[in-house]
Amino acid sequence: IFVADEAQQCGVALACFAPLVWLAPFHAVGDPESSPVSVPGTGVIGRDFALAWFARLFVQCGSVAVGSYLFVHLVRRVAADPTLLSADAWTSRLALLSAVIGFGTGMVLGAASDRTGRRRPFLSLTALCSSAGCAALAFGQDPALITGGAALFALGLAGFLTVDGAMVAQLVGTTANRGAALGIMNLTNTVSGIPVPGARLALDSS
């Protein structure tokens, strides 16, 4: 609320949310104490499943923030320094860089989490990477720092979504209504589109 523009506001908010993922007590793969997902419709959802839902929601909010406001942020940076690339060209390069990084990261971290038999360390690390990338994008003035922030965010986002998908599959694997449980989890894809623009509209009207 107290920083200069939309990108910075999103960066600060996401930096505050990231530690919540570290605190989430996701268990090791195959841990018999891991709380199962209750059958949707019973009114009860397992604790691990609920934590996974909110963790993914926060990270998806970061994706919405970057996707919605990165171009606006770059336009402002170019306006302040005409020697930089055009905002269109800069955005295109960052998008290509993010796609390449995301492709490799997902495969490497997904395989690593399988080998170690743990999900939580990878989820925590990648969520923090995403948050750090958002902060670099929001507050960075140097083009190299902004580019590095985009790369770090892409790495964190791709890694988190890959490992998170594996963990969710593990959680719902023995649930009778797996499709309904996955439907609940996938609500994070749409619900995440509400807080970021909603906060922006609220600030505009205040």
**CB distance 146 to 93 below 8 Å:** no
**CB distance 170 to 118 below 8 Å:** no
Q: What is the mean pLDDT of each successive set of 10 residues along the chain, which is 206 residues long? A: 48 54 46 46 64 88 85 85 85 90 88 88 90 85 88 92 89 77 87 79 69
* Residue-level pLDDT at 154: 92
Centre a 10 Å sphere on the Cβ of residue 135 and count the other Cβ atoms it contains. 20
**CB distance 120 to 61 below 8 Å:** no
* Residue-level pLDDT at 31: 43
* Residue-level pLDDT at 140: 78
Q: Decide: pTM greater than 0.85.
A: no
Element (H, E) at 129: helix 120-139
d(CA 116, CA 127): 19
* Residue-level pLDDT at 156: 92
d(CA 117, CA 64): 30
d(CA 195, CA 191): 8
Beta strands in 3-107 (DSSP E): none
d(CA 20, CA 194): 20
* Residue-level pLDDT at 155: 93
Helix axes 47-80, 178-186, angle to 10 degrees: 30
d(CA 185, CA 73): 31
DSSP character for 5? S
